[in-house]
Amino acid sequence: MEWRQSLQRLLPFAAPEPQTQLVNRSRMMTYDEPLVWVTLILMLFGMVMVYSASIALPDSPKYANYKNTHFLVRQALFVLLSIAGAAFAFRVRIETWQKIAPYLFVATLILLVMVLIPYVGKGVNGAKRWISLKVINLQPSELMKLFMVLYAADYTVRKQQYMHKLTKGFLPMLAAVGLVGLLLLLEPDLGAFGVIVCIAMGILFLGGINGVWFGGIAATLVGIFTMVILLSPWRRERIFAYLSPFDEDHALGKAYQLTHSLIAFGRGELFGVGLGASVEKLHYLPEAHTDFLLAVIGEELGFAGVLTVILLFYFLVKRAFEIGRQAIALDQTFAGLTAKGIGLWIGVQTFINMGVNLGLLPTKGLTLPLMSYGGSGVMINCVGLAILLRIDYENRVKMRGGRT
């Protein structure tokens, strides 16, 4: 014992005693603490910005009966419910999620059909995407994003031997995605459909689908999206407005949101005009607390605030792929594909929302995950990240030689 202590004094990097090794190993975290903190920071930061973006809404006739804190209180309630839902989801084993994935997918399909039924589906701004549950409005398309991740991962594992065949490997999944797409286009919700297609195609690609078939189907889907836009006059007008937002024919029409979003970013410059000091949220920028929350962040906190949000989401997506890679290395293919699918989902939706706000993409109604106002969106984001944490937890247990 004495010679070992003497050696450690001489060589600080010498191996610790076996007892110290055991203590160090027992102190290793059983969950990804940085991932939890980043998620909480995004939700709480989003709650502050939702309050800032919505505080002036009661001044308009549409929200005249609302209090200044209406959206803040509801968002706080959504966050608490989301954390409770995430805690429950974390306790469910990944093996169980795999077993129920097809049933969750079918149940959400039924909900998407119910949205289209008169007096059941609730419409806002000409789109029927919600089912009213009195306290909260349920948006089935948000549920479908997560359950498509689970279903596509389960499908890829079950059909692994057929992934290089068109009829048995790809076409059944294509039919499922096509049915979801048809229901979403009837709402209409092209943005959610785009995210779901990216999720399904991304998981199939990661699962080892034939490269030739993947390329051909991807090109076909691009053609379908192009035809949907060309055959829809109002979608076509949005594209023209996006290409030239400050044109006098577009600035007060289809490009109204985009122009005011760009003005907000321009006013924010490097460090912003100050928290709560946004001018664009004063009834100039529509949907400032939902789809265009990033524009308010850009105006009030400047480039520094926007960059911080981008880096936080980059960390989430990066960790999702790292956790997925570790799960696959441990022969947990479903868990690995699910983790990467959650990363794809968060990454694609964040990219589209930010792209719309910054004028990189045509205007589309997609919220910023974890941050924008909304119950269904925040809750399902939290449940998805709870499943990601569960995958990481089971990875850590298996690496220690334990059983989940």
Question: Is the alpha carbon torsion for 14, 19, 22, 23 positive or negative?
Answer: negative
Q: Is the pLDDT of residue 9 over 60?
A: no
Q: Is the pLDDT of residue 233 over 60?
A: yes
Q: Is the pLDDT of residue 169 over 90?
A: no
Determine the pLDDT at residue 210: 67
- Residues with Cβ within 8 Å of 117's Cβ and at least 6 positions away in sequence, in order, are none
Backbone angles phi, psi at 268, to 5 degrees: -70, -30
* Both tokens assigned to 11: 């060589």
- Summarised one tens digit per residue, pLDDT across range 45-77 is 999 999 999 998 888 888 888 888 999 999 999
For 175, which DSSP code?
Answer: H
> Whole-prediction pTM value?
0.87
Cα–Cα distance measured from residue 346 to residue 202, given in angstroms and rounded to the nearest whole number: 13
Q: Is the pLDDT of residue 21 over 60?
A: no
* Both tokens assigned to 103: 């049933």
Backbone angles phi, psi at 125, to 5 degrees: 55, 40
pLDDT category at 159 given cuts 50, 70, 90 is confident
Secondary structure class of 121 (helix, strand, coil): strand
Determine the pLDDT at residue 173: 85
Please state, for a pLDDT cut of 90, what percent of the chain lies above it: 49
pLDDT category at 151 given cuts 50, 70, 90 is very high
- Summarised one tens digit per residue, pLDDT across range 85-96 is 999 999 999 999
Q: Is the pLDDT of residue 244 over 50?
A: yes
Please state, for a pLDDT cut of 70, what percent of the chain lies above it: 88
CB 261 within 8 A of CB 361: no
Q: Is the pLDDT of residue 13 over 60?
A: no
pLDDT category at 205 given cuts 50, 70, 90 is confident
Determine the pLDDT at residue 240: 67
Determine the pLDDT at residue 400: 84
Determine the pLDDT at residue 316: 96
